[in-house]
Structure 1
Amino acid sequence: MKTRLLLTALLAATLAACQTNPVSGRKQLVLVSEEQAQASSAQAYAQTVNEAQQKGKLSTDAALNARVKRITDRLIVQAENMYPPSRSWKWSVTVIDEPTLNAWCMPGGKMAIYTGIVRKLNLSDDEIAQIMGHEISHAILGHGRERMSRAIATQGGLELGSILAGRDLTVLAPVADIALTLPNSREAESEADRYGIELAARAGYNPHAAISLWEKMSQANGNGPPQFLSTHPSPSNRMQALNALVPKMMPLYEKARN
């Protein structure tokens, strides 16, 4: 009987937790508030940066750090225009000196990019902008909150019940860590591609770089998909969809460049 009541309560809570994203207009299952997501992400981010620092893994390449910051600063301006609540975020970007082909942006604008993806793929500024525009889009589209919700739900009814009862998620920083390892849905990845290429175009970065980026990512496949590609749509499908967006993005790019 208790199990049935709990399941009924969880189902009702799940239905009540469906929200419409203000940027994409898509319905999302969100079990945590933006404030809670940002608080737990800030803790997880600080832990990640501290661990990288202790291991000597924070990039000391001043030119690369300045380059990444210059690109992300331009993208942030456009993200704040697209999603005004992000103007209050404490944006931050860290370059981590590891060979992995990866980058990410957590709720609240906490970002990282790994030297491996820049150096191994010999990325141009336009291509870095496509990567970081994609990751920033995940944040402003609320995909991190969706992943946190999935992480919480998989831990069972006890954790979910505590959240619904008002438990402070700032003590659940591990949830943000788990969320980093969980894949986004293919729908979320496609959304991030769509809005990421627009952010980059509005910031003055060439939309054609989205195609060259994924060509490089596809060629780097090797014995298995890079971490950045592990759960994403296939490179051929992704490039086809992005290629269809390029003509629509070119006027935005040209306007930004002029």
Structure 2
Amino acid sequence: MSKRFEWARGVLPMVLAASVVTACQTVQTTQSGAVGIERRQSMMVSAKEMDQAASQSYHQILQQAGQKNALNRNKEQVERVRAVARRLIPATGAFRPDAPGWKWEVNVLTSNELNAWCMAGGKIAFYSGIIERLDLTDDEIAAIMGHEIAHALREHARERASRAMVTNVGVAIVGAALGVGQVGSDLLGSVAKVSFELPNSREHETEADRIGVELAARAGYDPRAAIVLWQKMAKASEGAPPQWLSTHPSNETRQQDLRVYAERVMPLYEQATQHTRPVK
């Protein structure tokens, strides 16, 4: 083996490692809001790439649902969900000035699952099962939607895809040091997984809980409904959390956190609903 080859083989991992550091950006995806979200995030995947991949994946899901006659079958139900979205979307500007201008889409999929999600760029899906089986009020629909929108505002899927990419590059660096391996990724293939198939981290769930109650309050929905919703979810799932709320077990700690932050944003709710109260 030539000395030049040995040198290149030793330098390549360092070059790859340096490229990871260079490509990784530390960003603040949202303003802190009344709930005080301050954590900065490290991103390798660009927001544009994530939005494009999410949009393509979302429309593939809608196409498949349409082929099964499972897309927006109940017009009244669809309008109800979209009416909640129309009130929540303007409230997103408190966290991201650009968010109200996203190309939002809201659809209902006929399924018995207790599930809902919002992909990057504001692509929302509600499953009919979560509405019907839990007999949701509009406040509770807003609690779910606010939580899911919060994941999109914070770009949690992009952050998780970036973490996965760092891991993959790390493996490739080891492979390069051994003379094997290839750096590569399929963003479209992973976007569905990081958006709604794999569980969110406890950190992401807490951020989504807190932002979600603020979005609901700003839109004139009672933020305390999130607490009742969690109780319904735990009961319906026999103590195990449903897919949309991650794999972490339901516990009093999470409910207590919701109580604290719902109370914190109550002035926003009072302000939003003030004009609707009858004059005495």
Asked if these proteins are the same fold (TM beyond 0.5), I'd say yes
Task: Say what the alpha-carbon RMSD is for the aligned residues.
Answer: 2.4
Please give the alpha-carbon distance, in whole angstroms, between the structure 2 residues aligned to 1:55 and 1:223. Answer: 31
Answering whether residue 47 of structure 2 is matched by residue 31 of structure 1, we say: no
Q: What are structure 2's unaligned runs of at least 5 residues?
A: 1-9, 32-36, 174-184, 275-280
Cα 1:48/1:153, change in 2 over 3 Å: farther
The one of 6, 9, 15 aligned to 2:18: 9
- How many angstroms apart in 1 are the aligned matches of 2:172 and 2:94? 36
Letter in structure 2 aligned against 1:173: L
- Are positions 1:256 and 2:264 aligned together? no
Could you say which residue in structure 2 is the equivalent of 1:163?
Answer: none
Task: Give the alignment partner of residue 199 of structure 2, picking from 183, 191, 216.
Answer: 183
AA in 2 matched with 1:9? A
Provide the C-alpha distance between the structure 1 equivalents of 2:246 and 2:96, rounded to a whole number of angstroms. 28
What amino acid does structure 1 have at the position aligned with 2:193? I
CA shift for structure 1 position 2: 5.2
Distance across 2 between alignment mates of 1:241 and 1:255: 22
Structure 2 counterpart SS, 1:101: coil
2:188 pairs, out of 141, 166, 173, with: 173
Instruction: Give the number of equivalent residue pairs.
Output: 249
Within 5 Å, give how 1:1-258 maps onto structure 2: 1=10, 4-5=13-14, 8-9=17-18, 12-13=21-22, 16-23=24-31, 24-156=37-169, 172-180=187-195, 181-222=197-238, 224-232=240-248, 234-258=250-274
Q: What one-letter code is carried by the residue in structure 1 that aligns with 2:235?
A: Q
CA 1:251–1:27: 2 relative to 1, 3 Å: same
> Is the radius of gyration larger for structure 1 or structure 2?
2
Report if the CA contact (8 A) 1:40-1:175 is conserved: no
Is this contact kept in 2: 1:147–1:182, CA < 8 A? no
- When residues 107 and 127 of structure 1 are mapped into structure 2, their CA distance, relative to the original with a 3 A threshold, is same
Q: Percent identity?
A: 44
Q: How far did residue 245 of structure 1 move?
A: 1.8
Deviation at 1:62, TM superposition (A): 0.9
Give the AA of the match of 1:122.
D
Which blocks of at least 5 consecutive residues in structure 1 are unaligned? Answer: 161-168
1:107 positional shift: 1.0
TM-score norm. by structure 1 comes to 0.87
Deviations 1:38-91 (A, max 9, x none): 111100101111111111111311110000000011000101343111133100
Taking the aligned partners of 2:67 and 2:217, their CA distance within structure 1 comes to 37
Alpha-carbon offset, residue 247 of structure 1: 2.2
Q: Using the alignment, how far apart are the partners of 1:145 and 1:133 within structure 2?
A: 18
Q: Give the Å deviation of 1:4.
A: 3.3
Task: Write the distance in 1 (CA, Å) between the matches of 2:187 and 2:17.
Answer: 25
Q: Given the superposition, is the C-alpha separation of residues 236 and 6 from structure 1 closer, same or farther in structure 2, using an over 3 Å criterion?
A: farther
Q: Where does residue 165 of structure 1 map in the other structure?
A: none
Q: TM-score, with normalisation over the residues of structure 2? A: 0.81
Give distance in 2, aligned partners of 1:196 and 1:97. Answer: 24
Instruction: Give the drift of 1:7.
Output: 5.4
1:242 maps to amino acid:
L
Alignment match, 2:278: none
- Alpha-carbon distance between aligned partners in 1 of 2:227 and 2:240, rounded to the nearest angstrom: 20
